[in-house]
Amino acid sequence: MFDGMKVKLIKKIKDQIIPKGNRSFGISETITQHVSIKNLPGQPEISLSFIDFEFETITSKERQISGRIFRKCLFSHKVIEDFTFQNCKFLDCAFNGALMVGVEFHDCEFRECFFYKTKFKDTYIDPAFFYFTNKWHWIRANVNAGLFQSLYKNSKTMHQEEFAMHADRRFQFYRRYQYLYGNRPNIYKFLKGLLFDYFLGHGYGIKNSLAMTVVSIFGFAFLLDGKVSSEKGTFFETLYFTVVSLTTVGYGEITPVHEIMPLTITMLLLLSSIAWCAVVTAIIVKRIVK
């Protein structure tokens, strides 16, 4: 019974939220033209073409590709090795099954490109320059989860910590939609990932954790307002007591009223402060120290 209700709920979410209209992916046009990467045409835009990387010899100059726009081109199942792309745009292209080794992408954009089982090795590529519309995380979350997982592994191997952070955050973003629309939907894991994103920025969000700290302080202060023993009994004194307790300083000049509710709230505040301080410290170490 519960499984049936869960399936109906997921179907309702799909019907209400998933963008209507064209849900197709990939290149629908028939492509017959082949273009060698070492002999690109004079015009900057190349469209509806197979991009070939098979050749006996190639010079270092021919490995430098600059200012090109590739629109609906196929790079699938190609080994792309030791090339440098500068200020290039890849629009609606397909890189399915491609292997990139020692490639550098400087100021390049990837928009609506398909990266199914694409591998990256020793490649300089910024995950922040990948752009996808909403339909990708509603309908093809598994494809992009695999893409950003591969980018994360590549960035960690290259010791590009900033790139690795962007790739990891986007991997976890798409993975939570896999939990919602995969073969075995798991709403609990989806909601857990959603809260992990908004509250802690997937473990990287210093601003998220600081915002949550401020909200927690004022929340506990509101619950304890009028329930602490102080000289004036103002909200500011309650706020001061909350800050002192949350930071585990514990001066002791202000204490909660000895009643069940204030004591219970204070115990929850002290216990949560220990865990929260550990989480915030881990985020700071993850972002700054590394």
Q: Kindly report the pTM of this predicted structure.
A: 0.74
For 206-289, the fitting CATH number among 1.10.540.10, 1.10.640.10, 3.30.160.110, 1.10.287.70 is 1.10.287.70
Domain ranges of the chain: 25-125, 133-204, 206-289
> Which of 162-176, 187-201, 254-268 has the highest average model confidence (pLDDT)?
162-176
pLDDT in tens, 43-92: 999 999 999 998 888 999 999 999 999 999 999 999 999 999 999 999 99
Q: Which two tokens stand for residue 219?
A: 């929340």
Amino acid at 196: F
Q: Which two tokens stand for residue 73?
A: 């081109």
pLDDT in tens, 251-290: 777 888 888 888 888 888 888 888 887 777 777 776 666 5
Are 274 and 248 in contact by the 8 Å Cβ rule? The answer is: yes
What is the reported pLDDT for 153? 96
Q: Which two tokens stand for residue 240?
A: 């001061």
Are 146 and 123 in contact by the 8 Å Cβ rule? The answer is: no
Residue that has been written with the tokens 């909403």 in this structure:
134
H or E stretch covering 15: helix 2-17
Residue that has been written with the tokens 């001061």 in this structure:
240
Q: How far apart are CA 253 and CA 16, in angstroms?
A: 54
Between 203 and 245, where is the model more confident? 245
Residue that has been written with the tokens 């500068």 in this structure:
86
